[in-house]
Amino acid sequence: MTPRSSWNADVSWAEFDPIAYVDHNYRDMQAEDAEILCIVRDHFADHFRRYPATPVSGIDVGAGANLYPAFAMLPWCEEITLLEYSSANVRYLESQVAAYDANWDQFWDVLREHEAYRALGMDPRERFRRAVEVKGGSILDLARYEGRWSVGTMFFVAESMTTSWQEFRLGVERFLRALTPGAPFAAAFMEHSKGLYAGEHFFPACDVGESEVHASLEKLADDFKVVRPASSACVRDGYAGMLLACGRRRQ
């Protein structure tokens, strides 16, 4: 039975099965993910065209078993931190750093339709290996790193770690506060998620919609939009759709 209420600390995240998750969600690219990638790609490319910066450090908060948010930051970042709480996901990410699996090539192919990604100047696997560091840790512990990173992503994390609306808002706030003022960000959310199974274990979710996502961002974000991808394909059962927010950390 699914518990009525689960805070992040109540969940056995070490039981998360990253291989089952990748097989179900990312072995073949879904239309929603392709659309999200295009939006994020153009958002970051436009930002760094208008506001060139060096050095650039990136963070993907709650990276899980998903590499494409890090891919989206790759052309500009000298370093990218993949922050992940689940020990099983940490091991998966570490296994991908040296040479990631072939299924991830289709996601890079979408990104490289933009000249900023085509101009990378080296094999993306080599750039990924050089830039990426996997770090074990929780989104809720980011308070000590306020203003540390100059670009950030958070995909399907704050609403997928708890059933608590309070903890969801805290997760979004900790993510945004970890970015330098003016830093571009992209954050994706499962809309009205009921939780998910990864392997044999159930993991909770907070039921959020567009208004809740907007409210969680407005205190610390500027020039942001929350959009719902037009694609109708579903990655998995148990949610109404996806929401994507792109903007900048408030100055």
Q: How far apart, in whole angstroms, are the C-alpha atoms of residue 219 and residue 198? A: 33
pLDDT at residue 209, as a whole number? 87
Residue 242's H or E segment, with its range, is: strand 241-249
What is residue 202's predicted lDDT score, i.e. its pLDDT? 56
Q: Strand ranges (DSSP E) for 138-240?
A: 151-155, 184-191, 196-198, 201-203, 221-227
By DSSP bridging, strand 221-227 and strand 241-249 are antiparallel
pLDDT of residue 234: 53
The DSSP letter of residue 80 is E
pLDDT for res 10: 46
Supply the pLDDT for residue 21: 87
Distance of alpha carbon 92 from alpha carbon 84, whole angstroms: 10
User: Can you give the pTM of this predicted structure?
Assistant: 0.90
Instruction: Write down the H helix ranges in 11-67.
Output: 18-25, 31-50
175 vs 165: CA distance, rounded Å: 16
Reduce the DSSP state of residue 211 to 3 states and report it: helix
Note down pLDDT in tens along the chain; length 251 residues: 344 444 444 455 567 789 988 998 899 999 999 999 999 999 999 999 999 988 999 999 999 999 999 999 999 999 999 999 999 999 999 999 999 999 999 999 999 999 999 999 889 999 999 999 999 999 999 999 999 999 999 999 888 887 788 889 999 999 999 999 999 999 999 887 655 544 555 556 778 889 999 999 999 999 999 999 887 545 455 666 899 999 999 98
